[in-house]
Chains A and B, each alone.
Chain A
């Protein structure tokens, strides 16, 4: 997302029971208001559809205007709505030369997998960029799958990180793997 000082940015989140037309309903309002959808991530989680959008608009504009226009559409679709104004610093382009890794964690479901693993990663200076989890398996034998995309600190290798997570892996009795997925430039 390019930083333009004269542009206002908002974080919009919309969550509710999945149905067809949610994205179109929200996008229509934004289009009508002349908003740009910059970064966005929208996913179906179980039966819920969750949208997170970074929306920009040239001045003059206001958060209340954005909220008031989106609210009736969300109400109509039974979706919750939250709008937050972003500070200029928050929308500056994030750059990294760190290696990007996929960290896969899976094993028998138990409380604390997300907490224990992410706490360890935070302590190691690993920055999570994307994370999703899914409960699979059967009611008798539930299996938890967590996939993270993360930037690992300079000097750290996937093998090194995997080794540092070895104790936790043993303690939780889960599989933990780290693989580089840093994009290549042509």
Chain B
């Protein structure tokens, strides 16, 4: 287990499409531990995707339960392997930032509700419906698995001037 440094753009891994996880072995479980340690070490971090710590596999962790935006409506800790959005509804714009692109924020349009299917660390197939901030966080982290940064989705050029002290 290790709290790893978050890779920053222009690190090439952040623009890669990640590979599917074929079997959940100790490597994958260790990866999940590393993602969790890294997320918990980040000030107010609500999610980390594998490419952010240099691994091009479709794995990410999300936990918005401690965030002021997500604390009232969430599924707690989500460890998602090969996540897929199977349904989405609504759209809302939220100003986003990313630990891999510090110094910049921008308005991004996301679905307000999503149904995600994924494998848990125990190999079980899971399906959840997330709304609001949790839905946005999942979409942001899942974008990383396709090499998509929030910069690729900005819909307004009114940008944040100040580096975020944290993303709580």
Contact = CB atoms under 8 A, between A and B. Distances in A.
Interface string B85-107: 00000000000000001111010
A174 to B, nearest CB: 10
Given A137-B10, A141-B10, A175-B151, A102 B161 contact: no
B154 A136 contact: no
Interface string B140-163: 000000000001111111010100
Interface stretch (A23-31, A79-87, A145-153): A145-153
Interface-centre pick from A136, A148, A149 (highest chain B CB count, 10 A): A136
A157 B10 CA distance: 28
A53 interface: no
B167 interface: no
The binding surface of chain B is classed by DSSP as loop
A44 B159 CA distance: 11
A143 interface: yes
A106 interface: yes
Interface in A120-136: 130-132, 134, 136
Majority-rule SS of A interface residues:
strand
B40 interface: no
A170 to B, nearest CB: 14
B157 A132 contact: yes
Contact of B154 (A44, A104, A143): A104
Contacts of B10: 107-108, 137, 141, 143
B151 A104 contact: yes
Contacts of B159: 132, 134, 147
Interface string B9-33: 1100001000000000000000000
Give me the 7 closest cross-chain CB pairs, A-B, nearest first. A147-B157, A136-B103, A181-B155, A177-B152, A108-B10, A132-B157, A106-B151
Interface of B: 8-10, 15, 101-104, 106, 151-157, 159, 161
11 contacts: A44-B161, A102-B155, A131-B157, A132-B157, A134-B103, A136-B102, A136-B104, A141-B8, A141-B10, A143-B10, A179-B154
